[in-house]
Amino acid sequence: MNNKNVLAFLWNGGKMVFGSFVFAVGFQYLLLPNSINPGGVSGIAMIINYLTGAPSGVLIILVNIPIFLFAWRALGRRFLFSSVFCMLLYSVFVDVLGMADVYITSDKLLSSVFGGVFMGAGLGLVFSAGASTGGSDIIARLLAIKLPHLNLGQLLMLVDFFVVIISAAVFGSYESALYALIAIFLSSKVIDIILYGFNYAKVAYIISDNPAEMGQKITDKLGRGATVLYGRGAYSGKDKEIIMCAIKRQQIVDLKRTVHEVDEGAFLIISEAREVFGLGFSLEDK
């Protein structure tokens, strides 16, 4: 193993440890004391803890065992080993933090907001290291294989939502469930910010009768490169040139104005691009 690989290994290991710790802090000190269910296995552990008094960390491990066994072949040995490591870390952190007599706030809104941010930050770091904390994280990754058009944060939010519904019935508090939805929503957003960044790019497809002029105007006015794709109209059967370009979110208005100036009858499609690498989209530009 060369120095570069060693540094990458240590960097990812550090993200796993710190991410598991941050996630545990949000759960143990903000969500659990205020009966705000975070969904997933942590949420299931909270329900069982409420009913039996068993340690949450131990319950997290026990509930995760069948999930890991089920996902063994689908997600690969390396990912599962990393996830087992993070799951054990998280479980230990939860029970160790629970030994300390720390009380932050009884305000459920503050707890749901900051608990969600802490959870999302912790999970985002773990995910970025190529691992998970088990439970709903793994279920979300399995769903991502079948639903590639949804990002990981959205899938995780869907899975956690069902656990929150169950917790509302067990705790007999729909108010807590509503606060839990706030935490889950914020958590999913923070996860996506860490994984994909703040500055999501856009991809534009422009079908115009003046493709050469359109491409030149985009390059001159927006400072963006453009690529010509070749297609054919399904109804007319005529050959078409389609301009494709990646732009930053703040350039959408300028692009629409430019397209309208060149060709009022142009057909414009703008879609989301989670990650764009290359000239003009470096990390420094963001």
The Cα 29–Cα 276 span in angstroms is 37
Domains and CATH numbers, the chain: 3-196 (no CATH), 201-273 (3.30.70.120)
* Residue 14 pLDDT grade (very low, low, confident, very high; cuts 50, 70, 90): very high
Beta bridge partners of residue 79, listed in sequence order = none
Q: Which residues contact 73 (CB under 8 A, 6 or more apart)?
A: none
The Cα 276–Cα 203 span in angstroms is 9
Pair of tokens at residue 7:
């540094």
Q: Residues 84-121: pLDDT tens digits?
A: 888 889 889 988 998 887 778 889 999 999 999 999 99
Residue 32: DSSP 8-state: G
Average pLDDT over residues 72-80: 73
Q: What are φ and ψ of residue 184, in 5° steps? A: -65, -40
pLDDT at 199 over 60: no
Q: Which of 150, 253, 250 is nearest to 200 (CA)?
A: 250
pLDDT of residue 115: 93
| Cβ atoms within 10 Å of 248's Cβ, excluding its own | 18
High-pLDDT (> 90) share of the chain, %: 13
Look-up: residue for tokens 């997290």? 60
The Cα 245–Cα 100 span in angstroms is 54
Q: Which ranges in 76-198 belong to alpha helices (H)?
A: 77-99, 108-128, 136-146, 152-171, 174-196
Beta bridge partners of residue 163, listed in sequence order = none
pLDDT of residue 148: 66
pLDDT at 57 over 70: yes
pLDDT of residue 158: 79
Greater model confidence, 76 or 63: 63
Pair of tokens at residue 169:
């019935």
